[in-house]
Amino acid sequence: MEDKDEKLSAHLEALRAVLIRCFTALGLAFIPLFLIAPYAIDILIKLLIGNHDIALNYFSPMEVFILQIKVALVLDILLCFPYMAHQIWQFVLPALYDNERKFIRSIVLSSASLFILGVLFCLFFILPLIINFGLSFANDNLKAVLGISNIVSLSLWLSIIFGVMFQFPLITYSLIKSKIVSYQSVKDKRPYVFVTILIIAAILTPPDIVSQLMLAVPTYLLFEIGLYFSKNI
């Protein structure tokens, strides 16, 4: 009984050390990233607005400052994620078998790659498309007045959502490889999967059909890709 208590205490202490290192890394990186945040916002605005002759507006004295904190936090998490993943990986590694280590290592690398791909896809393709679609309604009687907080917050939120939703092929592959579900059962439930993706997209995106479809369609295509690669497992 004492041995079990000692092992549990040792595991908790190791977990505590991992968490301290992760939060320390986040804290140390936040300050320089907060200083970089205004430049990141400028780059994001140029990327989204493009050649449109439009100035973004802010409507309260603290709005831009709070926005810089949000951007710095997102950059902080993205920058420190590899270090934090490594720390967590080192914590769970001793409890895994060799085949489990290889599988999880491949999953982690694939997940990170798909997340980055989803963020880039959103920033360089989806968001400019949404902005251009919104600006297309402007005319002599209608003028677009865009708030910087809305634009940047939408960009951060959608980028994270696309990064997460791009995990669909990996989730499909992992579930089938782990024998939790069979390939045939997932294949037969395609219509239900598509409806589920539409519902999730409707919940996570702004209340317009364009944003919902722009998230739902690529996500379903990624599901099909994951299903295809799971065919011969």
155-197 pLDDT, tens digit per residue, is 888 888 888 888 888 888 877 877 778 888 888 888 888 888 8
Domain annotation covers residue 41: yes
Domain annotation covers residue 36: yes
Give the per-residue pLDDT at 27. Answer: 92
Number of structural domains found in the chain: 1
Question: What's the rounded mean pLDDT across residues 198-225?
Answer: 83
Residue 57 pairs in a beta bridge with 147
Domain annotation covers residue 142: yes
Model confidence band, residue 5 (pLDDT cutoffs 50, 70, 90): low
Q: What is the pTM of this model?
A: 0.77
The C-alpha atoms of residue 157 and residue 170 are separated, in whole angstroms, by 21
Domain annotation covers residue 226: no
The C-alpha atoms of residue 197 and residue 217 are separated, in whole angstroms, by 9
Domain annotation covers residue 90: yes
What are 31-69's pLDDT values in tens digits?
999 999 999 999 888 888 877 777 788 888 898 999 999
Give the per-residue pLDDT at 142. Answer: 82
Which structure tokens are listed for 47? 């990327």
Neighbours of 139 (CB within 10 A): 7
Which of 16-25, 138-147, 198-207, 223-232 reaches the highest mean pLDDT?
A: 16-25
Boundaries of domain holding 100: 2-166
Question: What's the rounded mean pLDDT across residues 115-125?
Answer: 87
Say yes or no to pLDDT of 89 above 60: yes
The C-alpha atoms of residue 230 and residue 125 are separated, in whole angstroms, by 28
Give the least confident one: 19-23, 85-89, 102-106: 102-106
What are φ and ψ of residue 57, in 5° steps? -120, 155
Give the least confident one: 67-71, 96-100, 130-134: 96-100
Domain annotation covers residue 93: yes
Give the per-residue pLDDT at 6. Answer: 64
Domain annotation covers residue 84: yes
Which amino acid makes up residue 3? Answer: D
Model confidence band, residue 2 (pLDDT cutoffs 50, 70, 90): low
The C-alpha atoms of residue 63 and residue 148 are separated, in whole angstroms, by 9
Domain annotation covers residue 189: no
Give the least confident one: 89-93, 129-133, 193-197, 218-222: 89-93
Neighbours of 158 (CB within 10 A): 23
Runs of H (alpha helix) within the chain: 2-49, 63-92, 98-121, 127-135, 148-165, 168-177, 183-188, 190-204, 209-229
Neighbours of 122 (CB within 10 A): 25
% the chain with pLDDT above 70: 93
Give the per-residue pLDDT at 100. Answer: 67
